[in-house]
Every structure is written in C-alpha cells, then in structure tokens.
Amino acid sequence: MQTILRPFAIKSSGDLARLGVMLALAGLILFGALRYDNFLSSFNILSFLRYNSMFALIALGMAFVIITGGIDLSVGGTAAMASVVAALFSPYHWAAGLLGGMVAGLAVGALNGFIITKMRIQPFIATLATMLAAYGTGLLLADNQSVSVSYDTGFTVIGQDDFLGFPIPAWIALAAYVLGWLVLEKLPVGRHILAIGDGEATAGLMGLKVERTLAAVYLASGTLAGLAGVILASQFGAGQPTEGVGWELFAIASVVVGGTLLTGGSGSVGATLAGALLLAMVFNILNFENGLGWISLSAYWQSVIRGAFLLVVVVLQAKLMARR
Amino acid sequence: MLLSMQGISKAFAGVAALKAASLEVEPAEVMALVGQNGAGKSTLIKILTGVYRRDEGTIAFDGRDVDFTMPAEAQAAGIATIYQEINLAPQRSVAENIYLSREPKRFGLIDHAAMRRGAEAVLKTFNLTIDVDRPVAHFDAATRQMVAIARAVTQNARLVIMDEPTSSLDEREVAVLFETIRTLKRSGVAVIFIGHRLDELYEICDRVTIMRDGQTVAKSPMADMPKMALVRHMLGKELAAFQAMAPGEEKPERPVRLDVANAGAGVRVRDVSLTVREGEISGLAGLLGSGRTETARLIFGADNLERGTMRLAGSERTYREPADAIADGIGLVSEDRKIDGIVPDMSIRENMTLALLPRLKKAGIVDRARQDEIVTRYIRALGVKCASPDQPIKELSGGNQQKVLLARWLATDPRVLIVDEPTRGIDIGAKSEILKLLRSLADEGLSVLMISSEFEELLAAADRVTVLSDGTSVKTLPRKDLSEAALLAAMAHQVE
Amino acid sequence: MTTIETPAPQPAGALSSGSRLFTLASRYGTFVAFLALIAVNIAITPNFLSWQTLNVNLTQVATIVIVATGMTLVIATGGIDLSVGSLMAIAGALAPMIFMGQFWPVENMAVAVTLALIIPVVVASLFGLFNGLLVTRFSIQPIIATLVLFIAGRGIAQVMTNGNLQVFKNEGFQFIAMGRIAGVPAQVVLMVLIAALAFAMIRYTVIGRQIIAVGGNEKAARLTGIPVKRVKLFVYMVSGALAGIAGLVVVARNSASDANLVGLGMELDAIAAVAVGGTLLTGGRANIVGTVLGAFVIQLVRYTLLANGVPDAAALIVKAGLIVLAVFIQQRADRH
C-alpha cells in the first residue's frame, strides 16, 4: 500500500505546483464537458491532440533544458527549418523526410551544445543566435516560401492519419513523453540532469560529467523540435519557414505552468505535458465559448490569457522560493 | 600512518602561499587543523584533494605516494571533503544525493528500492532515521552535513575532511555532528577538522596541527596544548615582543556616540554589546568566525537586527537598509574589498564618490567640479598612487584600493566609521599610513569602530577593545588594561 | 571562514598576446567592423555613396537604436527586457486609436495628436514599471519577468485592435517619422537626441553612475546606499518608454498600425546591437556609442547583403554569427 501511494506523496513545493496544474487541467476539462455539447466529441478531442502534439514535443525538450537551469530559445526556428528540410526530403521516401527533419533539429541542438559548453556563452544568448540562424537557413533552403511536401510517398500520413483510432502525432508525442519520463525518473542520467540544474559546480564536485550531459540535453531539445517540424510539414502539407514564431515562449510557459522551476533542478515530465495541454485547452475553450455566442472573445485573447497564466505561476514560484 | 604530507610548498604568481608545510594523520583520529585567515589551511587541503598542484613536497596516503590531479581522483582514493557550503544537490532526495553518480541499477534502470534501503541503512549507523525520499533542502544544516558524510562513507572514504562544519549549526546540531564523527572514528575513518571554536576543537579532536603564514608551526596532542598556547601559535605572537610596549595613557572619557546593547541576529551574532565614544578608536577583536563582520553589518543596516538595541548619540535607531545608516552619518569599509567594496570596472573617481553622489547632485547632474575637487583632495591626502583618477580601480594595488574606499566614506563626513580589517592584504608601509590616518581622524572627533585580527594594530591604535567569542561580546578592555596577554585570554574565553 | 588564496592580480603590462588580442577586439572591433563595412560597400555596392542610401539606412536603423538604447540601460544593471517588441505594438496600436477618435471624439486635432504622442509612451513606461516590479519585488529573473509581457503584450495590442490593420493619414502625427528638421528626417533626429541624452545621462548624472554601479557590483552598490531597487525600476521604465516611442515611429512611418507586426523581433535586434556594441551582457557597463555602432553594423551587414543580391535570410545567419562572436570576444576580454 505504502509503495503504491509513494509516487503521489507530496514531498516538496514543486510537487504541490505539479498537483495544482493537474487539478487545473481536470477542472478545465470538467468545465468544458459540462458547458459545451461537443467538447468531448471525438472530433474535438482528436483534432485537439493532432494539432497540439507538436507543441507538446517542444515543451518536453524545453522542460529538460530548463531543468538544467538553461533555456532554449531556438526551438521555434529549429522547427521551422526542420519542416522545410523534411518537405524537401519527402519526395524520396517518407522516412527520408522524417529523418531529414530530425537530423536538422539535431544539428541545431549540437550547435547549441557546442556554443554553450565549449564557448561558455549563456544559453539565452547562444540559443537566441541559433534561432536566427535556423530561421535564416530555413528561409534560404525554402527560397522564402512554403515548400510543398510530396503526397506520393506517404509522408503526410505522419501528421494526418490515425493509428488505432488516435492521431499519429499524438502517438509520437506519447512515445516521446514515456521515453522522457523513463530518462528523467528511471535512468541515472535523469538524476544527473536534475542535479546539474541544482548547481553545476556542486554536480561537478560530486563527479558528474556536466558538459557532456548539458550538451546531450540541448541535442535532445533540438531533435524534438526537429520532430515537431516534421509533423508540422506533414500535417499542413508544406514546409513552413516562417512558422514557429513564439513557439519557444509557448513551450517555456507550458514548462513553467507545469511546475518546473526556472532556476533549474526540479521538474516533471508528466506535469509538463499537463501544462502544455492546459495552455492549449485555454484556446480550445475560447473557441467553444465564442461558439455559444454569449461573448465574442477574439483568438487574440489567448496570448493575453497565456501571459496571465505565466504571471500567476511565476509569482507563486517566486513566493515559494522566498519562503524557503 | 594514513596520511603524510611533507615539505609542501606552493606559490601563486610568485607569492608563496605554503612554505614547506606538513600534515600527518593517523587512522581513526580526529585531527584539528587551525590557523588564521591566509595561514594556508585551505591551500594545503586543496593540494591534498587535487584542486591545486603542489610546487614541492610529497604526499603519501595509505602508504603510497599519491599525486591527485583532480578532485575525482582523491575521492576515488578514499578522501572525501565536506565543504562549508555543503556540496549536495538541494532539491534531490537524501537517497539520491548519497548515491549520485553511483546509482544502484537493475536492468540499466535506477533501482530506487535498493537506493532507499542503502541510504536508510547507512544513516542508521549514525542513529539517523529520516525520510530519505525528501529533498535535502528540507532538512537542517546538521542533517545535511550528515547526508554528505553518509555519501562519503558509501564511497568508502578513509579520510573525511570537514571545513568549518559547525559554522552554521546550533548547539544541539553540533552535538549530533560530533556523535557522527565519533561513529566515523569507531569504524576506522580519520577526520581532518578545520575549525575556529576552541571549545569544540578540545571536545572532538585528538590532535592539532597549527598553521601560520604558510607553515606548520605546531603539532601536538590536543590535551597537551593549552588554549592560550594554541591561540598564541595561531596568531604568532611572542609575549615578550610586546611586553616592552607601555600600557597606553588613558584619555578623559568623552560622550558615547554609538551604543550597541545585546544585539543579535541568526546564529552568528548571539549577544553583542559595545560602545564607541566620540573621537576614539574602539577595537573589535575575536577569532575568525566570532561574529565580528556580522556585527558590523548589523550596525550598518546591511543585515537586520533581530534582538537588542542600538543608539546613536543617545537616540534609538533601527536601520533597514545601509542607506538609512549612511543618512545617519555611518560608514562601513568592508572586509572583502572585491565582493563588498569596489565596483571593479568603474574609475577611481566614481568609486570614491559613490556614497556621496546624492550630495554631489545639481538638478540630477553630478557636479563635476566639486567631484574633481574632492577626488583630488583625497587622492593627495591619502596618498593614493594612481596614474589618474580615471583609472579603473581594479588596476590599483590592494593598499591603494583600500585608501580609495576609505576616502569614499571620509568624503561623506561621517560621525561613525566602521572599518573591517582595514589593513588586510596591504603592504607594511601602507598599513601604518592607514592606521595613522584613522588615529588623526579620531583625534578630530570621528568615532571609529575597528575590526582587526592583528594585535599590533589593536594595541597601537585602539582606545578600547571589545572581544567577541562565538557571537558574544565576552570582554571589553579599556586602554589601560590593553595587552597582548589580556587579549589572548579573552579570545581563549578564559577569565583571568 | 577559510578563504581561498587567490592568485595575485597580474600587472597590467603582463597580458599574454592572445588575451591582448581579445581586449583589442573588444574595444575597437565594432568600430573597425563598421569602417570595414563602409569600405567594402564603397568598393562593391553600386551607388553606395548617395544621399538616398544614407537615408534608407538611417531610417531603418532609427527604431533599433531607440529601443537598443533602453536595452543598454537595462543590460547595464544586469537585466534584460524581452518585452520591448510587444510594448512597441501596444503603443503603436494606441496612438491611431486616440487621434482617430476611438476612445473619445476628437474635437481638436492638435490636442488629439499631442495626446496620441504622449499617452502611448506613458502607458508603455507603466508596463516597463510592471516589469521592474516583477524583477525587484518578487526577485524574478529579468528574462522570465519580461517574458510575461512579451507574450501578453502583443495579445493586448491585438485585442485592442481586434487584430485589424489601422490605416491612417495624419500629417501631424506622422511628422515624427516622415517630417524633416533642417532636411534631416525627424526619426533620425529623434534617434540622435535619445542616444545623446542616454549618453549624457550615463556620463554626467547621478542616476547614470548608479546604474553602472548596480550592474558592476550590486552588493557594493547597496552598501554605498544606492537605492538598488529604485534604480532597476527606473531602467525598466525607460526601456518601456523608449519602446513606446519606437512603436509610434514605426506606425507613423508605415501610415498603418498592425498589432501583429509592429516591433516583431525587435528584442532580438536590440539585444544584438547591444552585444555587438560591446556592452557586457552581465552588466556594469553601458556603452551607448557602441550600441549605436552595433545597430549600424547590423543594419549595414543586412544592407550590404541585400544590395548585392544575397537573400535577406542569409543576413539572419550572419547576424547570428555576429552575436555569438561579439559575446565570445567580450567574455574572453573580460576574463583578463
């Protein structure tokens, strides 16, 4: 009994924040289900999952980066570039598109890792620069316009089709999250990532390989952004070099709302998913609310509401930290 | 013998930090390593643990010559270091911290159950039963220290180095820590205990190694080393050298300007009372870690007073920010120039007038003519050696930086000036200049509170000296009673 | 406390040649790059030495310089302001609404235009104050504190305008962009004025010296009685106000306000200008002249590439390289 309960035991303020986001998500779903007729319709659920899987993938990578105490602003640009690369490779084979996009993301991640660990430039500046570079490369490759994907090789299946009744992007995101959970919770390297975020110098003194681990985390974030780019290209039938603006901020907001401390050293994969879903659901609910016709909140409210969410969470975090 | 370091020398940029120092530790003994700031204790330890490389000398650990090039090698060989700022990942659980980088695995995954069991078992040997799944940040300093020690034990450490382990512990926690050290001893582990609180050293240590000026000046079983002798070795004073000095003349008593009564905050400052009169230099003495700097910060409003009262010229004051104290005419030349004093990239001119800026303002603009006049005056008056007032302060020598910082406060025309180790890291010539300057300022009516570890300084300049021990003011010596022996006795916390 | 004996500082003359190279590069690199860019352009770009070229480059760089000036002050205190682009959008959305009578009927156009020039800037500086409060009161890292308005700010502007393009023609208002003062475009005059004021503030005023001291050594600054929190509030307010002004210039220049686009990506350009201009991102320095030069270098790189048929996208990559290189050189030079 005790061991079953153990995962749910609240041991820290971070746990409390994570419990909070889960409850908020549940509350929002309940609210939607009671208020709107088609909220729990399979159409709404499936399109919700299909569209938001990309953001969930990026948020996962961001969570790992933020846990180390860093930040990755390049994910939006990386996704845009990867979508172009994937589209360009898609005529050869669907797998070529998939791999091409992922390798493009991996390359940006490797560059981030190099600039941060070898040139010792703050993650914030390093990834800001690679964000520009990624957008630039994507635009160059795409010749400043969207690049249509091939419909003959089955590349579009990745983003548009279902498997066992669920959208394939949702399966991909689910797999990534399970893998991420496994790494963070069950593999030693996950504990090392957390410890590095708690204090790099201390982690080094405790015998951890700080540089290598950090580089790996940025590599993973880049690769996940690449994967999101692949889904983007596949879902919308085109590589989109100008898409992805502000994705990094959506991801950061998801991670923070998910109770991960921006100062690093704490965080959870599950709560990050909940955070991403929560923010996405705000938009979904806005759509439904407008559909009811009582109010007419434009889509623009979503960024205001997201910003407000971020504000509340960040201020709460700061208060919790101060009390410590 | 477990550890033998012989003839260890080390120089930094030509300046000798260690001169043929030595240290020997037997298995299952607790060795006290003591010395003043800059005596070379931490350099010696850092050479042992592979943080620095030695220039000369030999190190034998467990009968073999060793030469560690990085901390991980020393750890692997069985030498664990528990730093003052305990090196644990605060948000990770107790169990994870104990096993970090050596997690027990099953099929490649962390075996959480085994980790938990192991952690509980090793902590149990120290009579500690805690929830090992909680983050270490949730536990008090003593428990965290125990976790760090448990980590060392599971790494099969044979020698555990503890750097001022009791500095942030209260009495009860110290007792728990000492019990742990005794447990370590029983299992054959040796401990190097770096500390300053004499009572603690005598309680827990078997032998003592005393360092001064980069050399090992005394080694002895703890029981054979009286407190007075220990302090004398640390400070390097031969009583004879000072007996020639006549007791100072007593000046007529002048009105009290600063009166601190039963001040306290946290565990570092427990109960401090002191007074500074008009036109006098009041000394504040005490061994390292006795709470001198912390007391100064309380008076200056850099930290907030939790207990006790403070009066300035008779009226009670509370300062929430240094700005409040400055407005009342108090200045503080802090101990650590680099961290609390200079703004390295700014010029001498700017550094000197930082505290004065609000008064140099004409419609928000710095009155450059007055600024220049003040800066030129103080550069000349204090003899600051610099190329020009526009030179960045980081390019100056320590003595000249200190003069600029003194000028920073003198320019504000203070009523009370607190100087914390005013001659630290300054050459002899500059030292006496600064002391003379303080003397003449006091003669003009300034009240100076001078914190110092150097007896010559206190004896030469102070009109009275308050001695702190363990955050408590244990004795105030008026000028006529001021002597080397009296100071030593008070620091060793013995009543004559 | 057992202190670590740190190695004595090296005498100034004993720098190794490698570190001296970094020091030189950090001090003069931006200026040399600026001159080199001009020389290259004279050699290869047709009609580079013409009034029109100068005009184009100056007007394009004006808003970057205005925003980057505020950013320099924030960075000098050791902070950062990501919200500038969004605040530009808010100011840019407000102004036309005021003089087009969307809040209250316009009776006197001169009054309306005056209000349209003042209110948006005040509002932007209040948002800046909000940033500053998050940083000082709640001790939230600046990058995160300003992220809130980065996200929500543009949303606020979009909500206000319902995402619609506001097209207008108003000579009085548009003077700040289109007008000429003694033949010089008004926005260029504004840019020079703002940069000069900031330069003078840093150099000659009390608050200027306090800004540098806070960024250079916050602990020491507090111990000299400097009101650290107030100084920080001030720089975030100034940054907000300058972003507001830049927002007005942009919409005046375009005869239209599009909340989706005004100031988009400006935070990056501003930070890049500051970094390339030689202000250390860790604080303690505010090189306004450098920031202006940095903005010009970035603008000239873009112009050079465009004028010679290289796509705009490549300029992004070059800009990325410039930022990394500039920060790398600054950090290496600072270590000695």
B296 pLDDT more than 90: yes
| Site from B101, B102, B130 to mutate, A interface, most A CB atoms within 10 angstroms | B101
Strand, coil or helix: A91: coil
What residues of chain B, 104 to 123, have a C-beta less than 8 Å from chain A?
Answer: 105, 108-110
CA distance C234 to chain B (A): 14
Of residues A18 and B187, more confidence is placed in: B187
Report whether pLDDT(C1) > 70. no
pLDDT digits 0-9 by tens, C166-220 = 999 998 899 998 888 888 899 999 999 999 999 999 999 999 999 999 999 999 9
pLDDT average, residue stretch A60-81: 95
Domain over B3-236 is classified CATH 3.50.50.60: no
Query: How many whole angstroms from its chain centre is CA A221?
Result: 9
Contact C324 A246 (CB under 8 A): no
- β-sheet bridge partners, residue B64: B61
| Percentage with pLDDT > 70 across chain A | 94
- Evaluate if residue C4 carries a pLDDT over 80: no
Q: Where are the domains of chain A?
A: 40-323
C145 CB within 8 Å of a chain A CB: yes
Q: Nearest-CA distance from B117 to chain C in Å?
A: 36
Q: How far apart are CA C332 and CA C330, in angstroms?
A: 6
If you search the block for the tokens 């190099």, which residue do you land on?
Answer: A114
CATH of domain A40-323: 1.10.3470
Q: Is B234 left (phi over 0), alpha (psi -120 to 50) or beta?
A: alpha
Model confidence band, residue B496 (pLDDT cutoffs 50, 70, 90): very low
In sequence order, the β-bridge partners of residue B261 are B309
C-alpha dist (Å) from residue A148 to A26, A156, A167, B226, C195: 39, 11, 21, 88, 46
Question: Considering the domain boundaries, does residue C46 fall inside one?
Answer: no
Side chain identity, residue C183: G
Question: C touches which chains (3+ CB pairs under 8 A)?
Answer: A, B
Whether A265 sits inside 8 A of B110 (CB atoms) is no
Which chain C positions have a beta carbon within 8 Å of B357's beta carbon?
Answer: 206, 209-210, 226
Residue C322, domain member (yes or no)? no
Question: Which chain C residues contact residue B366 at CB under 8 A?
Answer: 204-206, 209
Backbone angles phi, psi at C252, to 5 degrees: -65, -40
Domain ranges in chain B are 3-236, 240-321+415-496, 341-413
Closest A-chain CA to C311:
A140
Instruction: Note whether A202 contacts B: Cβ–Cβ < 8 A.
Output: yes
| Pairs of residues, one from chain B and one from chain C, whose beta carbons lie less than 8 Å apart | 114
* Alpha helices for B93-205 (secondary structure H): 94-99, 112-124, 141-154, 171-186, 198-204
Confirm or reject contact between C183 and chain B (CB < 8 A). Answer: no
Residue C17 falls within a domain, yes or no? no
Q: What pLDDT is recorded for position B428?
A: 65
Radius of gyration of chain C (CA): 21
Question: Would residue C163 count as lying in a domain?
Answer: yes
Counting as contact any 3 or more CB pairs under 8 A, the partners of B are A, C
Asked whether the predicted pLDDT for residue C28 surpasses 50, the reply is yes
Domain B240-321+415-496 has CATH 3.20.20.120: no
Whether A14 sits inside 8 A of B75 (CB atoms) is no
For residue C71, being part of any structural domain is answered with yes
Residues of B in contact with C4 (CB under 8 A): 42-43, 46
Rounded Cα distance between B310 and C25, Å, is 53
| Angstroms from A62 CA to nearest CA on chain C | 14
Rounded Cα–Cα distance for residues B463 and B363 (Å): 43
pLDDT for C12 equals 39
Substitution target in B345, B350, B386 with the highest count of C β-carbons within 10 Å is B345
Mean pLDDT of B201-210: 94
pLDDT of B247 > 60? The answer is: no
Asked if residues B110 and B142 have their Cβ atoms less than 8 Å apart, the reply is no
How many angstroms separate the CA atoms of B444 and B441, rounded? 5
| Predicted pLDDT at A265 | 87
Q: Residue C308 falls within a domain, yes or no?
A: no
Q: Which pLDDT score is estimated for B35?
A: 85
Q: Does B49 touch chain A (CB under 8 A)?
A: no
Residue C217: phi and psi, rounded to 5, are -165, 95
CA distance B140 to B144: 6
CB contact under 8 A, B105 and A265: no
Q: What is the mean pLDDT of chain B?
A: 87
Q: What is the mean pLDDT of residues B126-136?
A: 88
HSE (CB half, 13 Å, CA atoms) of B115? 25
Question: Is the CB of residue C268 less than 8 Å away from at least one CB of chain A?
Answer: yes
Could you say which of A120, A301, A310 has the minimum Cβ distance to residue C148? A310
Q: Quick check: A50 and A295 in contact, CB under 8 A? A: no
Q: Please name the residues in contact with C22: beta carbons below 8 A apart, sequence gap of 6 or more.
A: C329, C332, C333, C336
| Closest CB to C204 among B38, B365, B394 | B365
**Confidence (pLDDT) at B241:** 39
pLDDT, one tens digit per residue, over A243-287 is: 888 788 889 888 988 888 878 888 889 999 999 999 898 888 888
Query: Which chain B residues are closer than 8 Å to C217 by Cβ?
Result: 339, 342-344
Interface of B with A in 76-95 (CB under 8 A): 83, 87-93
Residue A4 has pLDDT above 50, yes or no: no
- Angle in degrees, CA A278, A66, A5, rounded to 5: 60
Verify whether the Cβ–Cβ distance B41 to C2 is below 8 Å: yes
pLDDT on residue B429: 67
Answer yes or no: is pLDDT of A2 > 50: no
When mean pLDDT is compared across A12-21, B464-473, C20-29, the lowest value belongs to A12-21
Inter-chain residue contact A208 with B134, CB threshold 8 Å: no
- The parent domain of residue C142 ranges over 57-265
The b/e string for C150-189 (b: 16+ C-beta within 10 A; e otherwise) is bbbbbbbbbbbbeeeebebebeebbbbbeeeeeeebbbbb
DSSP C251-319: HHHHTEE-TTTTTTTHHHHHHHHHHHTT--TTSS---HHHHHHHHHHHHHHHHHHHHTT--HHHHHHHH
ipTM beyond 0.90? no
Q: Please report the pLDDT score of residue B483 as a whole number.
A: 84
Least confident of A4-8, B344-348, C38-42: A4-8
pLDDT for B56:
92
CA distance B218 to B209: 6
Given this model, what pLDDT does residue B237 score? 59
A3 pLDDT exceeds 60? no
C36 in any annotated domain = no
Please report the number of interchain residue pairs, chain A to chain C, with beta-carbon separation below 8 angstroms.
135
Between CA A28 and CA A43 the distance in angstroms is: 18
The answer, yes or no, to whether residue B38 has pLDDT greater than 80, is: no
Considering its fold, how many domains does chain C have in total? 1
Interface with A, mutate which of C71, C127, C146, C147 (most A CBs under 10 A): C147
pLDDT of residue B141: 79
Q: What are phi and psi of B247, to 5 degrees?
A: -60, 140
B73-120 pLDDT, tens digit each: 888 899 988 876 668 888 899 999 999 888 898 888 999 999 999 999
If we measure between CA atoms, which residue out of B236, B214, B288, B289 comes closest to residue B43? B214
Structure tokens at A56: 């969930």
The residue type found at C77 is T
Comparison of pLDDT for B402 and C17, the residue scoring more: B402
H-assigned helices in C77-165: 84-99, 109-137, 142-161
